[in-house]
Structure 1
Amino acid sequence: MDASVISRFNNEERKILDKSAIKDFATSARRKLIEGVSQKAYLIGISKDCIKEVDIIGDGVRIEINNETVYLTNKENEQRNKLIEQIEQKGYEQVMEEVAYTWFNRIIAIRFMEVNNYLPSEIRILSSEDGDKMEPDAVSQVNSIVDELNLNLDKVYKFQDDNDVNGLFKYIFVKQCNAFGKIMPVMFEKIEDYTELLLPDGLLLEGNVVNDLVNNIDEEDFKNQVEIIGWMYQYYISEKKDKVFADLKKNKKITKENIPAATQLFTPDWIVRYMVENSLGKLWLEGHPDEELQESFKYYLEEAKQESDVEKELEKIRKERSKLSPEDITVLDPAMGSGHILVYAFDVLYQIYVSAGYSERDIPRLILEKNLYGLDIDDRAGQLAYFALIMKARSYSRRLFRDMERNPIELNVCSIQESNGLTKADIEYFANGDDELKIDIEYLVNVFTDAKEYGSIIDVDSI
């Protein structure tokens, strides 16, 4: 086996994450972002208690807010109308929470990539290589990323003429998120609706979220440590979790919307390694003995001595497993959270593929497409697991993003979705007169009703 791969794997022990700083940042960021998006909503006439009417004028609309007139373009008004629709469906507080988390997610993802030098432009978006500079490199070197991010030069010049650093930063940041939508659509859906309208102002200012992230979290905590994404999420929802349990003591039922906050726990690294090495690792080694590979597994347990009749049965199992190729192995985590177990399984699978003689260039795509599967009831967790696996693959392949632009990778991780909103008319439309298909659709609609409450215990028959 390639000694460099073993060396890399054994050197995965890195500095201990400063979880206190991570927790302080994540809990503070949640409060600040919710406040920030709520303030942006207020400035377009939307609050918890009131949604103001608009007056149509020329090529836009105007709104009277506290004796001041606010003007919106037709596009901005369309975004505002979509926001109002969402509030009517989900409630004001739920929508503000969702938008705040969307921006938190993207900020953390971009920070992880810039620190690890994964951004295609290699120019930092949130910070500067020069630690003494307050202005991000993307702002000071904006001309270098005009083509990469398809920036409008007239807008760029306007921000520069107005000395509007924060405005230019927001414009670049949104464009970078949209650019990643072509590579990682699950993590970076195209931002063009009310989410963009509610992106808070002043993120770079002292005491605001981006500034806090850059200055309060050690860059080393991000370097090749994708598990920081999971810790960030656990701490981000920790205050909501506390509230859910406080309400439970008051006999308030935990709703399915709050199940993720109540149940999300980050599995410690040593437990993950123990589980993966003694399941996936053992599966492979039983059929493909490899002393060097086995020694790289810190938590691997040798098989205990068995009675002769048991040993004979085990030998049959080893013989069967010797026929396995790496591409035959399936690892499923039915409650994947932010993907910690799947990420370490990726490392182990990478070693297995190398030991089997595969080209290192081909391995990352093979693992993502053939070996790793995950489910969760939490949409946010689904995004994080997706992102964590892409980042792990990128750590092994510098060409990954370019390859994914030309030939997208379909990961086998997803969040379970509900069928509650589907009507009989919808079923008729999809069946399009096919009675057998209609029966199948009706079955699936029934099974996935309230699916986010039941999660992976849902039993789906083969159709």
Structure 2
Amino acid sequence: FMEVNDYLPSGVRVLSSVESGKVEPDIIKNYKYVDLNLTVEDLKALRDMEDSNDTDNMYRFLLIKQCNKLNEILPGMFEKIEDYTELLLPDNLLSKDSVIRRFVSDIPEEDYKDQVEIIGWLYQYYISEKKNEVFEGLKKNIKITKENIPAATQLFTPDWIVKYMVENSLGRLWLEGHPDDELKSEWKYYLDEAEQEPDVQKQLDEIREQSKKIKPEDIKVLDPAMGSGHILVYAFDVLYEIYKKAGYSEKDIPKLILKNNLYGLEIDDRAAQLAYFSVMMKSRSKSRGIFNEQIDLNICSIQESNGIPEGAVDLLVNPKKTALEGWVDRKDVEYLINVFHDAKEYGSILDVKSVDFGAIEKRLEEIKDGDLPVYQLQMKNVILERIPPLIKQARIMSQKYDVVCTNPPYMSSGGLYYKTNNFLKRYYQDSCSDLYSTFIELCSNMTRRNRFVSMITQQSWMFLSSFKALRKKIIENMNIYNMIHLGPRAFKEIGGEVVQSTAFVLRKFRDDNFKGTFIRLVDNSRADEKELKFLNIINDRDKSNKYFSSNNSFKNIYGMPIAYWISNRMRIIFNKNKKISDFAECKSGIMTGNDKLFLKFWFEVCSCDIGLGLSSYKDMLKYNYKWYPLNKGGEFRKWYGNNDYIIFMRNSGQTIKQKSLNYRLRDSKYYFLPCITWSRISMDKIGFRKSFKGYLFGDAGPSIFIREDKINYLLGFLCSKIPNVLMTVLNPTFNFQVQDIESIPIIDSDNVLISDLSKKNINISKIDWDSYETSWDFKKHPILTYRQNVYTVKQAFNNWSAFAEKQFYKLKANEEELNRIFI
């Protein structure tokens, strides 16, 4: 990247040649003209290798020397290394298939030109194999440890989404106090604010009056999960334009940005190096002399304090201070070391308080310059190496920011190592379901009053019951300024419907009547389509899928889902009606921890070992069969069916308790009772079915228990169109949890027609299910059942087909009538 963009101080290429088609790097022939700090011995060794045509070893030698030289101007990227480490380099660095040749030949030079983002793409590719290994391990219940968190969670953010996040947070902050139509026009992803009510507008005007006092160097921007620095690089671009508009010298701007504005944290050392490099390269593109400034960037990879000896504390406390001063200094040093113990497990989510960092740094200078006894020299080296990085990261983590912008790591807490998981539960109780949701809370905590948080995350926090406390905290403390609801396929690298995303800007300001702007792109199936649709909407070329909604509208629905697109009529339905939980009990069911061992199809075991037709848990204790029927979800099906599985529950599941760690055996009072069940995971609509007495219910087949005379009425409602529409608000995912079903609003009624239609549809669906041999109520094949007086298979099949068609239209007519009644 540096040589293609002519950023190397020497101007001599190290990996390639300026001559088109030439394979040998220019440095081999021109090393004499490059300042590499070569000694007389180095020059003699190079001449010897040159004379003997030992080009490979000569190149290895020069490559090490060049990296060491670059350490002088880019210490955060090129670590100082000794010559012996060249032994770790692969052989044949100049061969056709070497990594260097692949970098040069496989990637066009044009891709490196002024596009530092390529560094992030290459790093994502570099860690992809490790990422696959980690996720394969998850399938085997191998939790993700601190060493593997980076590989599992790194995901390069699409460029247009980065621009949306930065322009609508950092850009908005500046424009509010310094309106500039020309500057705003350069930010093509900037969303204008919705028209507000007068009292809301008055508050916003007061904030803008304060914003007029902001100077460019006052603005602090943090990415607490910076990866390879994509967001920080674009924030640099925006800040550069802000400084220019404020009248600053273009020569001074890069230095001011690096010193005052940009802050970044990362858990992965290598990614942090790349972020440092990316920001420095962006700076170099604006200032030729930036390498000579020796700026210590406010960017760091979080380091652990593990292994710092106890004696370090004693040495870091100045013995010449008073007892009280020494006690305060000791407490600060002890805190600094303790808070970062196992810091790689937690990264940015550590809550770090500010201490007297200046006093600790002053003592470090005293230690560095002072004469210490010989026995303390080793301790001195440890302190001078290990403590400064802790101070730097503590400073960054303990202050507040004007803009916190990030694409956080995505990882369910269930996949994390126990230390990290326990930490989330202890310190982030409202957001501990996933790492990304924890970062939403973290970013809010690190943001100044009236300032901005901008993020891209999964959409699940907007709807799922497990994030209800987080939604409540956001709505009670912030406003959603705007949002791009992306849905599936926002990232080109991630296909399918499972990962669904949303990008948004929050403001740490609360007025429940503030109207946020929401752009809905969930129905666009490709990433490039989403970007084009967004641009068409904000430029008024497309009038659809743009909505305005306030905190009040979210608060009026149970669970506060971020249902910005629904009509007032639907809000009234949620607000006025009772919920299913007011009439029934919804239960999650049995979890074995090892379904392969404890679940089978009913036809895989002897029927004499299966307990059919039981009525209660007492019957289970009395007869003690080995196997029992189990509702286990299955494919989309309504009214009746999916009765395939049995579960080994002899002695009330004692074997499950003995052989499984992650099991759930509870709610035995509901065992074998008639109920309504559904498939918890469904890639289609949700389908509810009646379960007659005699079934247990599993985790994948949760159940609703209600008075038996109410089952048909409730099932009739649940099999109408209404619940699927309501679920787009409560949980527009593929995982339909008990809490979501409980929250469905319903009108209680004794409508006999509804119960009668429901009963007929159950019967039709049961006849269909029982016509196949996989049903344990199968009697004979339908061809024989509907043979009547015909004598050929074809005629018998036609009779069956005609009957099935008649049944289908009966079912369809009944469902249409139910929809008419409820709608």
> Could you state the TM-score of these two structures normalised by the residue count of structure 1?
0.73
* Secondary structure of the structure 1 residue equivalent to 2:147: helix
Cα displacement string for residues 167-209 of structure 1 (whole angstroms, at most 9, x for unaligned residues): 2211111111111111111111111165333122211111111
Instruction: Verify: 1:315 aligned to 2:201, yes or no.
Output: no
Which residue among 423, 436, 458 is the counterpart of 2:328?
A: 436
Q: Quick one: higher RCO (CA 8 Å, sep 6+), 1 or 2?
A: 1
Instruction: Verify: 1:295 aligned to 2:182, yes or no.
Output: no
Instruction: Verify: 1:356 aligned to 2:246, yes or no.
Output: yes
Aligned to 2:295: 409
Aligned to 1:384: 274
Q: Distance in 1 between matches of 2:318 and 2:306?
A: 20
- Determine if contact 2:178/2:212 at 8 Å carries over to the other structure: yes
Instruction: Verify: 1:418 aligned to 2:299, yes or no.
Output: no
Aligned-pair CA distance for 1:427: 2.4
Residues 213-362 of structure 1 mapped to structure 2, 5 A cutoff: 213-362=103-252
Instruction: Verify: 1:184 aligned to 2:74, yes or no.
Output: yes
Q: Distance in 2 between matches of 1:350 and 1:167?
A: 44
Q: 1:194 to 1:241 in 2, by over 3 A?
A: farther
Runs of 4+ in structure 1 off by over 4 angstroms are none
Residues 65-76 of structure 1 mapped to structure 2, 5 A cutoff: none
The letter for the 2-side match of 1:316 is: E
Aligned to 2:96: 206
Q: Distance in 2 between matches of 1:121 and 1:185?
A: 17
Aligned-pair CA distance for 1:150: 3.1
Instruction: Verify: 1:456 aligned to 2:348, yes or no.
Output: yes
Cα displacement string for residues 354-397 of structure 1 (whole angstroms, at most 9, x for unaligned residues): 00000000000000010000101111111111110000000011
- Determine if contact 1:332/1:372 at 8 Å carries over to the other structure: yes
- Determine if contact 1:181/1:187 at 8 Å carries over to the other structure: yes
Cα displacement string for residues 127-169 of structure 1 (whole angstroms, at most 9, x for unaligned residues): 1111221211111222222x45536321221111111111221
Aligned to 2:25: 136
The letter for the 2-side match of 1:135 is: E
Identity of aligned residues (%): 62
Q: Distance in 2 between matches of 1:143 and 1:387?
A: 27
Q: Distance in 1 between matches of 2:285 and 2:85?
A: 30
- Determine if contact 2:60/2:86 at 8 Å carries over to the other structure: no
* Secondary structure of the structure 2 residue equivalent to 1:293: helix
Structure richer in helix, relative to its length: 1
Cα displacement string for residues 235-255 of structure 1 (whole angstroms, at most 9, x for unaligned residues): 101000100111111122211
Q: Distance in 1 between matches of 2:87 and 2:312?
A: 31
Q: Distance in 1 between matches of 2:349 and 2:58?
A: 47
Aligned-pair CA distance for 1:426: 2.7
Using the TM superposition, name which of 257-266 and 168-177 deviates more.
Answer: 168-177
Q: Distance in 1 between matches of 2:143 and 2:201?
A: 52
* Secondary structure of the structure 2 residue equivalent to 1:332: strand
Q: Distance in 2 between matches of 1:193 and 1:157?
A: 17
- Determine if contact 2:216/2:239 at 8 Å carries over to the other structure: yes
Using the TM superposition, name which of 416-425 and 274-283 deviates more.
Answer: 416-425
* Secondary structure of the structure 1 residue equivalent to 2:68: helix
Q: Distance in 2 between matches of 1:322 and 1:394?
A: 30
Q: Distance in 2 between matches of 1:257 and 1:369?
A: 31
Using the TM superposition, name which of 435-444 and 389-398 deviates more.
Answer: 435-444
CA RMSD between the two structures = 1.4
Aligned-pair CA distance for 1:421: 1.2
* Secondary structure of the structure 2 residue equivalent to 1:257: coil
Q: Distance in 2 between matches of 1:194 and 1:158?
A: 19
- Determine if contact 1:244/1:262 at 8 Å carries over to the other structure: yes
- Determine if contact 1:121/1:148 at 8 Å carries over to the other structure: no
Aligned to 1:124: 13
Q: Distance in 2 between matches of 1:442 and 1:153?
A: 50
- Determine if contact 1:337/1:382 at 8 Å carries over to the other structure: yes
Q: Distance in 1 between matches of 2:315 and 2:290?
A: 39
Cα displacement string for residues 83-136 of structure 1 (whole angstroms, at most 9, x for unaligned residues): xxxxxxxxxxxxxxxxxxxxxxxxxxxxx1011111111111111111221211
Q: Distance in 1 between matches of 2:65 and 2:188?
A: 43
The letter for the 1-side match of 2:307 is: G
Q: Distance in 2 between matches of 1:423 and 1:159?
A: 46
Q: Distance in 2 between matches of 1:168 and 1:328?
A: 49
Q: Distance in 1 between matches of 2:139 and 2:113?
A: 41
Q: Distance in 2 between matches of 1:382 and 1:393?
A: 17
Aligned-pair CA distance for 1:430: 2.6
Aligned to 2:397: none
Aligned to 2:38: 150
Q: Distance in 2 between matches of 1:262 and 1:413?
A: 22
Aligned-pair CA distance for 1:273: 0.1
Aligned to 2:401: none
Q: Distance in 2 between matches of 1:438 and 1:196?
A: 43
> Could you state the TM-score of these two structures normalised by the residue count of structure 2?
0.41
Using the TM superposition, name which of 184-193 and 342-351 deviates more.
Answer: 184-193
The letter for the 1-side match of 2:315 is: Y
Gaps of 5+ in 1: 1-111
* Secondary structure of the structure 2 residue equivalent to 1:113: coil
* Secondary structure of the structure 2 residue equivalent to 1:428: helix
Q: Distance in 2 between matches of 1:211 and 1:149?
A: 26
- Determine if contact 1:187/1:383 at 8 Å carries over to the other structure: yes
Using the TM superposition, name which of 307-316 and 426-435 deviates more.
Answer: 426-435
Cα displacement string for residues 298-318 of structure 1 (whole angstroms, at most 9, x for unaligned residues): 100111111111111111111
* Secondary structure of the structure 2 residue equivalent to 1:114: coil
Structure richer in strand, relative to its length: 2
Aligned-pair CA distance for 1:415: 0.8
Cα displacement string for residues 408-458 of structure 1 (whole angstroms, at most 9, x for unaligned residues): 101000011111212322323333553322222222222111111111111
The letter for the 2-side match of 1:334 is: P
The letter for the 2-side match of 1:191 is: I
- Determine if contact 2:116/2:281 at 8 Å carries over to the other structure: yes
Cα displacement string for residues 195-230 of structure 1 (whole angstroms, at most 9, x for unaligned residues): 333122211111111111111111111111101111
Which residue among 283, 289, 292 is the counterpart of 1:393?
A: 283
Q: Distance in 1 between matches of 2:100 and 2:224?
A: 33
Q: Distance in 1 between matches of 2:313 and 2:138?
A: 38
Q: Distance in 1 between matches of 2:310 and 2:317?
A: 10
The letter for the 2-side match of 1:388 is: S
* Secondary structure of the structure 2 residue equivalent to 1:256: coil
The letter for the 2-side match of 1:125 is: V
Aligned to 1:83: none
The letter for the 1-side match of 2:316 is: F
* Secondary structure of the structure 2 residue equivalent to 1:318: helix
The letter for the 2-side match of 1:438 is: R
